Chains A and B, each alone.
Chain A
């Protein structure tokens, strides 16, 4: 698999990261090495071998439906870079919709959180 600029750009977009042009070259190199290593594994014949999903053999580690373990709001908010006494604060993630050709078109990718729940 070839690691090209388009792939690095796509990964950067998915990870919400930004790189300088020089950094990009370095990343391309690193990624190429990692992928080559993984591709090496592909040489093994794994026919009939179930994929390993978990590193432990434990199953059914379940809990009873009991309320416990919440922390105070004060300590929950303490480490947030931005907050008031009630909420975590983030930059506005919604922009006012712009009417276009008789139709409302929203600039933001989501209007509310439900919409990201597939």
Chain B
């Protein structure tokens, strides 16, 4: 039957778990490093041995507040942890320590851009909790194998209000959230490795209706694309059900990435009773204004402000500015380069911001892509690229030689001076006017017919002369000087 999908509206709220980039776990000193041998980052506290006492990691609190401040949340000053009681083999204590009932950050919002329009997605809360261990079902045919390395790793859960209206908005929200945690350097944002995980609460309702429909909670969403796919599939499924007059029951569903569909894993009837109560082993923690303000000072300039600066101060296009600021480290590198650029040679031109942007988005980015590396693994210091740009700006080097030869040569010995390499390799441009004039004379004498044609008005022939001079100079004649002298001679 034909369903009028436009008669309905999709309503989504997202719950995002972000693993915090602390060195040690939330309540004990085990390392949080990813990918270590199973059960090598465990202590008696992680394993919940009797008589052990958890102790809170200060950094985790700082990171949660940093996120809260960046999302314009109210920071709650008096905090404690509660126990969320349930049984599962990867949860050694039989309860998870969580701030589920009393979050450290309340309210706030995240601004997304959708169809060139800004929209604020309101947050319900951000709270701190500990991660569980990992259950592996496929390493042993008879048993489930448990690795407790991840048990106790600090997480923040960022819970949005049901303000999201489509898969595209969900995807924009997650992209923005991922960018933010990476800018703040509190989470690496890697969804495949599970350091950023998302559950989607999806419901639908007739357009114009104020009441929320019955929701399904969708789990197992391991990429931004899959979040979008799952929401689109689930909302259509629900709209079809409503159109057929069927009742939607509250469910927990899982997304199957292969088929792009969702399936039920739990009905509301078997909803768990978690019996939250305050944890008596941990003390309360109380935040002062000073503590919070000191964290505020550690928040870097975020993308939106950087774009504003790049487009106004550096005169870059919005497109270039957003690409340059996508990742904080990439943008930081660019800014260090900018600070090392030569001041304008003559009053007529500003600093070479556009060439600097082109180097970042051209040779640097392609090299990183080719080598599958991040900017903090890039061998060259920003001063080196600034040095190359300076040589080009001074007319000593052509961009094509610089990007195709010098750039790759200096990467092999990152400490060396770009100017010296160019000298040694004989790549420097020839800007000796006497020498260039001599070459030009040779060319003009070689093509007397062409000179006549030019003088009769075939001005396009200038390209041929320039080309010939370049050939004679083995590509090193300064093109600007060559052009100037040529024009002068031909037009006299």
The answer to whether A and B interact is yes
Contacts of A42 in B (CB 8 A): none
Distance A87 CA – B280 CA, assembled complex (angstroms): 30
Nearest B residue to A55, CB-CB = B280
Distance to closest chain B CB from A77 (angstroms):
7
A87 to chain B: closest residue by CB = B145
Q: Which residue of A lies closest to B28 (CB)?
A: A69
Q: Contacts A89-B140, A89-B143 given: A54-B283 contact, CB under 8 Å? A: yes
Nearest to B85 among chain A residues (CB) is A14
CB distance from A81 to the nearest CB of B (A): 11
Supply 10 further A-B pairs (C-beta < 8 A) apart from A73-B38, A93-B135: A63-B56, A66-B24, A68-B29, A84-B140, A88-B39, A91-B143, A112-B220, A114-B132, A115-B252, A118-B15
Provide the bound-state CA to CA distance between A68 and B57, in Å.
Answer: 12
A111 touches B283 (CB 8 A): no
Task: Name B283's contact: one of A59, A65, A77 (CB within 8 Å).
Answer: A59
Residues of A within 8 A of B59 (CB): 64-65
* Contact in complex: B139, A59 (CB < 8 Å): no
Output the least CB separation between A21 and chain B (Å). Answer: 24
Decide: B29 and A67 in contact? CB cutoff 8 A.
yes
Chain A residues engaging chain B, CB cutoff 8 angstroms: 10, 14, 16, 53-56, 58-71, 73, 76-77, 82, 84, 86-94, 97, 103-106, 109-118
B40 at the interface (CB under 8 A from A): yes
Number of interface residues of B (CB under 8 A): 77
Could you tell me the distance in whole angstroms from the C-beta of B88 to the nearest C-beta in chain A? 5
Which residue of A54, A56, A87, A94 is within 8 Å of B38 (Cβ)?
Answer: A87
Is A111's CB under 8 angstroms from B31's CB?
A: no
| Given contacts A69-B43, A89-B140, A103-B264, A114 and B273 within 8 Å (CB-CB) | no
- Docked Cα-Cα span, A111 to B43, in Å, equals 27
**A103 interface neighbour in B148, B263, B285, Cβ under 8 Å:** B263
The proximity string for B residues 188-207 relative to A, scoring 1 for CB distances below 8 Å and 0 otherwise, is 00000010010000000000
From known contacts A54-B284, A69-B28, A109-B270, infer whether A62 and B57 are also in contact, taking CB-CB under 8 Å. yes
13 pairs, CB–CB < 8 Å, chain A vs chain B: A10-B273, A60-B283, A61-B56, A63-B57, A68-B24, A69-B28, A69-B29, A76-B47, A86-B38, A89-B145, A97-B263, A111-B265, A116-B88
Q: Which of B143, B219, B254, B285 has the most CB of A within 10 A?
A: B143
Q: What 3 A-B pairs come out closest when comparing CB atoms? A: A87-B145, A65-B59, A68-B29
Query: B42: CB under 8 A from chain A?
Result: yes
Q: How long is the Cα–Cα vector from A56 to B220 in the complex, in angstroms?
A: 41
B89 lies within 8 A of A70 (CB): no
CB distance from A10 to the nearest CB of B (A): 8
* Contact A90-B89, Cβ < 8 Å, known A60-B283, A114-B219: yes
Shortest distance from the beta carbon of A91 to any chain B beta carbon, whole Å: 7
Q: Is B80 an interface residue (CB 8 A)?
A: yes
Task: Report whether B283 and A58 are in contact in the complex, using a CB–CB cutoff of 8 Å.
Answer: yes
Q: Report the bound CA distance from A111 to B55 in whole Å.
A: 31
Q: Are B220 and A88 in contact (CB under 8 A)?
A: no
Q: Please, what's the 1-or-0 string for B53-91, where 1 marks a CB less than 8 Å from any CB in chain A?
A: 001111111000000000000000000100011111111
A73 to B61, CA, bound (A): 29
Contact A87 B283 (CB under 8 A): no
Chain A hits for B39, CB < 8 A = 73, 76-77, 86-88
A89-B140, A90-B146, A105-B263 are known contacts. Are A118 and B100 too (CB-CB below 8 A)? yes
Minimal beta-carbon separation of B303 from chain A (angstroms)? 27
Q: Say whether A70 contacts B146, CB under 8 Å.
A: no
Check if A104 sits within 8 Å of B263, measured CB to CB: yes
Assembled-state Cα–Cα distance A64/B410 (Å): 42
Q: Is the Cβ of B136 less than 8 Å from the Cβ of A94?
A: no
Q: What are the residues of chain B within 8 A of A70 when measuring CB–CB?
A: 29-31, 40-43
| Cross-chain contact B29 with A87 (CB below 8 angstroms) | no
A53-B80 contact, Cβ under 8 Å, with A59-B284, A66-B24: yes
- On chain B, the residues within 8 Å of A88 by CB distance are 39, 89, 145-146, 148
Q: Is the CB of A92 within 8 A of B137?
A: yes
- Pick from B80, B86, B131, B144: contact of A90, CB under 8 Å: B144
| Nearest CB of B to A105, in Å | 6
Tell me, in angstroms, the Cα distance from A104 to B264 when the chains sit together.
7
Give the nearest-CB partner of B42 in chain A: A76
C-alpha spacing A61/B37, complex, angstroms? 31
**Chain B contacts for A16, CB-based, 8 A:** 87
Establish whether residues B220 and A87, one from each chain, have CB atoms under 8 Å apart when the complex forms: no
Q: Kindly state the separation between the CA atoms of A58 and B80 in the bound complex, as whole angstroms.
A: 12
Is there contact, CB below 8 Å, between A61 and B55?
A: yes
Closest chain-B Cβ to A99's Cβ sits at a distance in Å of 9
Q: B143 touches which one: A10, A62, A67, A90 (CB < 8 A)?
A: A90
CB distance A71 to B145 under 8 Å?
no
